[in-house]
Amino acid sequence: MRTLSRDVVVASCAALALASGFSCKSETSAPVAVVSVSLTPASGTVNVGSTLALTAQGEDAHGNPLTGRPVTFTSSDTNVATISASGVVTGVAPGAVMVTAAIDSKSAQAQVTVMAVRDDWVTYGHDVRRTSASLASVTGPLTLSWTYSPPGTSGHALSSVINAIGTVEGVFVRNSLNSGYGYGLSPAIDRVSPAGQHVWTYNMGTDADFGDWASLMGNRIIVSSDGTRFVDQMSGSSVHSNGVDTWGEILTDSSTLYLTNDVQIDGPGVYAGAYDTAFKARWSANKFQSCRGSASATAGGLALSNGVLFYAPKYNVGKPATVLPFASGVFALNATTGAQQAFHASTPYSRISADGSRIYLIENSNTLVALAQSDLHVVWSAAIANPGEQSPVVANGLVIVATSTDVEAYNATTGAKSWSSTALSGAAAHWSSTYQGGNCGNVQIPVSFGATATVAAALGSRTLVVTASDGVHILALATGADQWHGRIAGISGTAGNPIIVNDPARGAIVYVEDYSKLYALTPPPALAIVGDARARRAAGVARTP
Residues 419 and 477 in one domain: yes
Q: How many domains does the chain have?
A: 2
Co-location of 373 and 415 in the same domain:
yes
Asked if 403 and 476 sit in the same domain, the reply is: yes
- Residue 197 shares a structural domain with residue 81: no
Banded pLDDT at 288 (limits 50, 70, 90): confident
The answer to whether 483 touches 476, Cβ cutoff 8 Å, is yes
Same domain, 180 and 299: yes
Residue 83 sits in the same domain as residue 147 = no
Residue 44: pLDDT over 60:
yes
Q: Which amino acid is at 389?
A: E
Q: Is residue 403 part of a domain?
A: yes
Write the pLDDT tens digit of every residue in 110-147. Answer: 999 998 889 999 999 999 999 999 999 999 999 999 99
CATH number of the CATH domain containing 330: 2.130.10.10
Same-domain check for residues 97 and 139: no
Please report which confidence band the pLDDT of residue 28 belongs to, taking 50, 70 and 90 as the band edges: low
Answer yes or no: is 49 within a domain: yes
Specify whether 111 is located in the same domain as 178: no
pLDDT > 70? residue 294: no
Is residue 370 within 8 Å of residue 358, measured between CB atoms?
yes
Say yes or no: 152 and 301 in one domain. Answer: yes
Mean pLDDT for 361-386 is 97
41 occurs within a structural domain: yes
69 in any annotated domain: yes
In-domain check, residue 139: yes
Within a domain: 94: yes
Residues 196 and 322 in one domain: yes
- Whether residue 228 is found in the same domain as residue 85: no
What range does the domain containing 99 cover? 36-115
User: How far is it, in rounded angstroms, from Cα 178 to Cα 507?
Assistant: 36
pLDDT tens-place string over residues 477-530: 999 999 999 999 999 889 999 999 999 988 999 999 999 999 999 999 864 333
Last residue of a domain, one of 48, 82, 115: 115
Checking if the pLDDT of 92 tops 90, the result is: no
Could you please report the per-residue DSSP string of 222-269?
A: EEEBSSEEEEETTT--EEEE--SS-B--EEE-SS-EEEEE-EESSS--
For residue 233, is it within any domain?
Answer: yes
In a domain, 364, yes or no: yes
Cα distance from N-terminal residue to C-terminal residue, the chain: 40
CATH code of 109's domain:
2.60.40.1080
Query: Are 144 and 177 contained in the same domain?
Result: yes
Burial 220-237 (b: 16+ CB within 10 A, else e): bbbbbbbbbbbbebeebe
| pLDDT top residue among 48 and 152 | 152
Task: Return left, alpha or beta for 386; rule: phi > 0 is left, psi -120 to 50 is alpha, else beta.
Answer: left
